[in-house]
Amino acid sequence: MRETTDLLRQLVAINSINPDLVADGPGEGDIARFVATWLGAAGLEVTLDEPEAGRPNVVAIARGSGGGRSLLLNAHSDTVGVAFMERPHEPVIEGDRLYGRGAYDMKGGLASIMVAAARAKKLKLRGDVILTAVSDEEFASIGTSSIVKQYHADAAIVTEPTEL
């Protein structure tokens, strides 16, 4: 749990406001590079794909030995704006909760699947585990549109927080 919380703190500290929602939003470039570097260091095969210039998706694969089913783990890397928030990119832990822009939607899910994919790599599974950290979920979903054309899996877990 500590590994995931520490990773979440690092992700929240990265400003990834969607530039289609807020004019000066930096987009997903910095967070995508961080995610790609972290997953590469964990031994996954990592690709950065730009469905639109400066709006990268991260795809990381923990290759299985073959003959197994594949699982796709999905999260998005962009956030909405920070109007009326004090220090939105300085994560704060109060009790058992971490606060900061994107902690809930959706960097918590992203941190969780990053740790899960890194652990899957060590398990030597038969099937592939494919992690996708997509850009632009908060506006037009260009990242997801690109991913579904290129990658296929037997099952998927989408970590978007919903009321389901």
Residue with tokens 């694969």: 61
- The residue ranges of every structural domain in the chain are 2-158
DSSP 21: T
Is 97 in contact with 12 (CB distance < 8 Å)?
Answer: no
pTM score, two decimals?
Answer: 0.96
Predicted pLDDT of residue 163: 74
Q: Decide: 44 and 30 in contact? Cβ < 8 Å.
A: no
Least confident of 81-85, 119-123, 141-145: 81-85
- Structure tokens that stand for 79 in this block: 């956030």
Contact between 95 and 76 under an 8 Å Cβ cutoff? The reply is: no
CB 156 within 8 A of CB 71: yes
Render pLDDT for 8-34 as a digit per residue (tens, 0 to 9).
Answer: 999 999 999 999 999 999 999 999 999
Residues 6+ apart with CB under 8 A from 11: 31, 34, 35, 102, 107, 110, 111
**Which residues on adjacent β-strands are paired with residue 94?**
97
* pLDDT of amino acid 95: 93
Which residues are identified as catalytic?
A: 78, 137
Read off the pLDDT of each residue in 103-109 and give the average, rounded to a whole number. Answer: 96
CATH topology of domain 2-158: Aminopeptidase (3.40.630)
Q: Phi/psi of residue 32, each to 5°?
A: -65, -45
* Pairing verdict, β 155-158 and 71-76: parallel
Average pLDDT, the chain: 96
Q: Which pLDDT score, from 0 to 100, does residue 160 have? A: 95
